[in-house]
Chain A
Amino acid sequence: MQARRLKAAVAIAAVAALAVGAAGCAKSERDGDSGEAKTGGTFIFAGAGDPKNFDPIFNDDGESFRPVRQMFDTLVSHKPGTAELQGGLAESWEHDPDGKVWTFKLRQGVKFHDGTPFNAAAVCFNFDRWYNMKGAAAQSQMIYYMDTFGGFAKNEAEGAGESIYNKCEAKDDGTAVLTLNKYKGAFPGAFALTSLSIASPEALKKYDANTVKQNGDSFEYSAFATTNPVGTGPFTFGGWDKAKNEITLNRNPDYFGDKAKVDKVIIKIIKDESTRKQELRAGTVQGIDFPAPADRKALEGEGFQVINRPAFNVLYLGLNQKNPKLKDLRVRQAIAYALNRQQLVQTKGPGGAKVADEFMPDTVLGYAPDVQKYEYNPDKAKQLLKDAGAEGLTLNFYYPPDVSRPYMPNPQEIFTVLANDLQAVGIKVNGVPRPWNGGFKDDVQQFGKQDLHILGWTGDYNDPGNFVGTFFGRAKVEFGDQSMTEMFEAITKADATVDDAGKKAAWEQVNRDIAAKWLPAVPLWHAPPAIVVTKDVKGMVASPLTDERFNTVSVGK
């Protein structure tokens, strides 16, 4: 009886599946673009978490950026597969010698999804919107804007500083001029930030985008951010079905660049890592992100395409100089010599990882090829410890065993290898595992309880300040020494240098001094995070900044 019912259900489902498939094949849109290699079909990608919302400016995490990147464009974009800048909505840009006045020559004939023309007025509308944003709730969500512009017309809370934004003028339809109060090294790279995507002024107004309502201890976002995001990108918003955990994006037939090859992109949110893998194997999704290093070989063996992103991150071992022993440079150098980083990369690193000698990838301006390198040398480490009178040292080593970050896929294993290396030169290590969001970040970055910890960073744009400046640009509890003023000043100066040659030289010197003189932490590796797609997916270009656009993707049969 049971079996018969099961069979019936199988039959019904099979017929249903066929019917759906047939319907899918029978549907093909007609749009005016001829000669486009449009393949149709649907590309299903597994997301790992809910997006916060779809208003670019209020977001700062990868899960929210993935759909946003398909719907919006930025003034400056990246050459596919690299961190190099190229024209986006602006075909070209230039700045005055002080780096304060930026002139953008805009692309002509571009329209937002709602038909609003894209022009200089629209660009300035966006800049003005960000600068004039009101309300503590809204401002607190604008992480990247704060990073780049420093503050608002009216700061609602402490923590925001003086804004470097002065004004934006539409000279003519195709020319937008942005004036800053002060030069900042982050530009032009920061103009490519997904958060600073350009949205349709009409839609922003119509859907009340600036209203972020505070409700008790949470925020309520506007209809623009939740149901009506409108940009210029290759896909338009189709909806987020929260009962099914599916975000649907439809092909934009009027896109100014390479029009999408598929009719539809569905981002299916699956929070469990092993379930994402199983869905991929079952063929129910065609792409997943950040596979565990241990799974990569297996997936490749099964015929999936494991595409490595060029590494744009760094993992480091933080040294907390609150501990007087670690204040001695010789002890810090001893730790650097004690670590067999080559072996760490080979045994625990994801495919394609390499040892880091600096705190930024070599593709970033200001990478110095001639910094002091700490080759594995346990004898030297012991000698240095002896010279410093720090034999028999005991250190607390904090690590978060419960997470997997792109630069740190397996914290527990990394900790074990590093701890063994340190024990081998006579340093006693007390491992302190703490949940990522339940102690680790608080203890390390707010209270500075640790002597050692592992942490890292994925860069946002091609600028040394985004790496080295973020880590060591000012006093931080994480590294425990508030008196390394020489380092802070050098970084501030390098960041304020406008001309490219001077900037490059200044940052190179900073990197040399960090390695030889300051050593606030030990860089460990650059790990390329991978993206995995099924055999029949073509045209997936992996980006070091995880800035993948799905308009180039097609799903073959």
Chain B
Amino acid sequence: MLRVIVRRLLQLVVTLMALSALIFIWLRNLPGGPVEALLGERATPERRALLTKALGYDQPILVQYGKFMQRVLTGDFGNSIRTGDPVTEVISRAFPATIELALVAMIIAVGLGVPLGYLAARWRGRWPDNLTIAGTLLGISIPIFFLGYLLKDVFTQNIHWFPPSGRLTTGLDNTHVTGFFVLDGLLTREFDASADALWHLILPAITLATIPLAVIVRITRASVLDVLNEDYVRTAEAKGLRHRTIRGRHILRNALLPVVTTIGLQTGALLSGAVLTEKVYNWGGIGTLITDSITGGRDYPVLQAIILLAALVFVVVNLLVDLSYAFIDPRVRVR
């Protein structure tokens, strides 16, 4: 077992090394770059040369990569090219924003998805079921961008119910503790800030929640239908157990297993959806950071760090899944 883990960890290191080299070279071979972005209209050949040299882009790419790796091994990912903030700081500032948004979106998706899926299954073939299925089709097929702008247009421009963008009303004082604004407000007893942050969360969270919501509804429906036909449900009904007991203990408990798996799978989809949602709502999380770093001047250090981080998460999750299989299924362990 231990040997498997060690071997996988070694593979992980090699994978990340190879990936980092690829990203490094690929980014630098894209047309345009930070030098162009920083100089704008004022890019004379001399200035370009000066800045290229100052940033070290005139050296061979392998030398650049070597220096980059040297720093990364000491935990230094460099600084954002535009503002000079350490990349680690930039990312850790953006991270809570995205997690907060994804979390609320997931709460909406699960909180609405499971009951709706259950209802659809119970009323199979009748109007509540048909309506729900139609809804999920719409939810899955509508582009996030379009939905985001649509919601924003209706609820912030025509009916002023929600703020158009951002995480807090401009000028509202709040103390940053964790970077999760709703939580920070509760911790520091600035309840107005908490409410305000929650208020800003609603539209983007709904936008982000649509796809996982639709998926969860469908999975729940399918798996409740499976369970309904099981013998033990029929037995329970025959025994004359109360409906509530049957629903809770027998149907939902068994039906929710595949749903839980789906929730795990949807987390990845949430993070990619966050890129678009955050763009629409000027959210200031990782999604916004990615867009800004690409369009707003090719911020190599930030991009490299984000991609590596995402890759690391992906690889680690894969590793954990493999290992847990090994725990569950003895046959995997042999090699």
A220 within 8 A of B: yes
Residues of B within 8 A of A19 (CB): 192
Q: Across the two chains, which residue of chain A brings its CB closest to B193?
A: A16
From known contacts A215-B76, A218-B84, A457-B41, infer whether A282 and B160 are also in contact, taking CB-CB under 8 Å: yes
The listed residue (B36, B157, B171) touching A246 by CB distance below 8 A is: B171
Ordered by A's residue number, 24 sampled pairs between the chains whose C-beta atoms are within 8 Å are A10-B161, A12-B195, A13-B198, A50-B83, A52-B38, A53-B83, A140-B47, A140-B53, A159-B50, A214-B54, A226-B84, A243-B93, A245-B284, A246-B171, A274-B149, A278-B152, A281-B157, A282-B156, A284-B164, A435-B31, A437-B37, A441-B32, A442-B32, A446-B48
Contact A216 B71 (CB under 8 A): yes
B128 within 8 A of A: no
Contact B167 A140 (CB under 8 A): no
Residue-wise, chain A 281-295 has the 8 Å CB interface mask toward B (1 for contact) of 110110000000000
B118 within 8 A of A: no
Q: Across the two chains, which residue of chain A brings its CB closest to B152?
A: A278
A266 within 8 A of B: yes
The listed residue (A278, A445, A457, A477) touching B164 by CB distance below 8 A is: A278
Q: What size tier do the contact residues of chain B reach?
A: 35 or more
Q: Across the two chains, which residue of chain B brings its CB closest to A18?
A: B192
A157 within 8 A of B: yes
Residues of B157-196 contacting chain A, CB below 8 A = 157, 160-161, 163-172, 174, 176, 179, 191-193, 195-196
B143 within 8 A of A: no
Residues of B9-35 contacting chain A, CB below 8 A = 30-34
Contact A160 B50 (CB under 8 A): yes
Q: Give A2 to B85 CA distance when docked, in angstroms.
A: 41
Residues of B within 8 A of A226 (CB): 83-84
Contact A143 B32 (CB under 8 A): no
Partner-binding segment picked from B225-233, B294-302, B320-328: B294-302
Q: Across the two chains, which residue of chain A brings its CB closest to B181?
A: A243
12 extra interface residue pairs, beta carbon distance < 8 Å, beyond A242-B85, A272-B165: A9-B198, A16-B191, A16-B195, A49-B296, A158-B50, A160-B46, A216-B79, A218-B79, A242-B93, A243-B284, A278-B156, A434-B31
Q: Across the two chains, which residue of chain B brings its CB closest to A241?
A: B176
How far does the Cβ of B175 sit from chain A's closest Cβ, in whole Å?
A: 11
Residues of A221-250 contacting chain B, CB below 8 A = 221, 226, 241-246, 248
A335 within 8 A of B: no
Contact A218 B80 (CB under 8 A): yes
- Of A10, A51, A219, A268, the most chain B CB neighbours within 10 A belong to A219
From known contacts A143-B47, A160-B50, A216-B56, infer whether A278 and B169 are also in contact, taking CB-CB under 8 Å: no
Contact B191 A244 (CB under 8 A): no
Residues of A within 8 A of B167 (CB): 243-244
Q: Give the B-binding residues of A (Cβ under 8 A).
A: 2, 6, 9-10, 12-13, 15-17, 19-20, 42, 44, 49-53, 60-61, 136-137, 139-140, 143, 146-147, 157-160, 214-221, 226, 241-246, 248, 264, 266, 268, 270-272, 274-275, 278-279, 281-282, 284-285, 405, 434-439, 441-442, 445-446, 455-458, 477
Contact B199 A13 (CB under 8 A): yes
B123 within 8 A of A: no
Residues of B within 8 A of A214 (CB): 54, 56
Q: Give A215 to B40 CA distance when docked, in angstroms.
A: 23
The listed residue (A53, A218, A445) touching B81 by CB distance below 8 A is: A218
Residues of B within 8 A of A52 (CB): 38, 82-84
Contact B171 A441 (CB under 8 A): no
Contact A435 B32 (CB under 8 A): yes
Residues of B within 8 A of A147 (CB): 42
Q: Give A145 to B235 CA distance when docked, in angstroms.
A: 86
Q: Give A225 to B80 CA distance when docked, in angstroms.
A: 15
Contact A442 B54 (CB under 8 A): no
Q: Give A284 to B162 CA distance when docked, in angstroms.
A: 11
Residues of B within 8 A of A12 (CB): 191, 195
The listed residue (A437, A439, A458) touching B297 by CB distance below 8 A is: A437
Residues of B within 8 A of A442 (CB): 31-32, 36
How far does the Cβ of B33 sit from chain A's closest Cβ, in whole Å?
A: 8
Contact B50 A157 (CB under 8 A): yes
Contact A439 B31 (CB under 8 A): yes
Q: Across the two chains, which residue of chain B brings its CB closest to A6?
A: B202
Residues of B within 8 A of A143 (CB): 39, 42, 47
Contact A270 B282 (CB under 8 A): yes
The listed residue (A6, A278, A437, A439) touching B157 by CB distance below 8 A is: A278
Contact A270 B165 (CB under 8 A): yes
Q: Give A285 to B93 CA distance when docked, in angstroms.
A: 24
How far does the Cβ of B126 sit from chain A's closest Cβ, in whole Å?
A: 23
Residues of A within 8 A of B39 (CB): 143
